[in-house]
Structure 1
């Protein structure tokens, strides 16, 4: 079994920042994690790991999450 190398800390930090932006958008839309996961067509566990910044999300998944929340994708991945 081949393991991916651990990404550098700067990648983890940016992943956590994206998760924070997803959480903020979800709360602004007054949606639960369950509602967003259902609307995005993913299960709660993987959605939770994305929002916590513990999992790398594919771009397709981020697009579905943005659509589920009702915000532009850029709002979820914008860097200050």
Structure 2
């Protein structure tokens, strides 16, 4: 069985990584924050907070963003940390 962290201290790092991935994909597609949050039916602050690694986005919010970006949700939330930690 894999060793799991004792606490949730790893979560902010994962949220920041997810935000960077989302922002990079949005920019790769040459989309503005405005076009994404409007198409997803979100408010500006929600998208800004997610991209900044703040807050606690719901799965529904992430699904909406993934759909607008036309990428699998897994691409936005995958753990790209090669150390194997969550």
**Separation of aligned partners in 2, 1:9 and 1:32:** 31
Unaligned runs of 5+ in 1: 1-6
Query: TM-score scaled by structure 2?
Result: 0.80
Number of aligned positions between the proteins: 74
**Separation of aligned partners in 1, 2:48 and 2:11:** 18
User: In the TM superposition, what whole-angstrom CA distance separates every residue of 1:57-78 from its partner, at most 9, and x where no partner exists?
Assistant: 0001000000111111111011
Residue 4 of structure 1 corresponds to none
Instruction: Kindly name which structure, 1 or 2, has the bigger radius of gyration based on alpha carbons.
Output: 2
Residue 40 of structure 1 corresponds to 40
Moved over 3 A (4+): none
Residue 51 of structure 1 corresponds to 51
Unaligned runs of 5+ in 2: 1-6, 81-86
Residue 4 of structure 2 corresponds to none
Task: Give 1:9 deviation, angstroms.
Answer: 2.9
**Separation of aligned partners in 2, 1:55 and 1:47:** 10
| 1:24 partnered with 2:24 | yes
Query: TM-score scaled by structure 1?
Result: 0.86
**Separation of aligned partners in 2, 1:30 and 1:68:** 13
Task: Give 1:8 deviation, angstroms.
Answer: 3.6
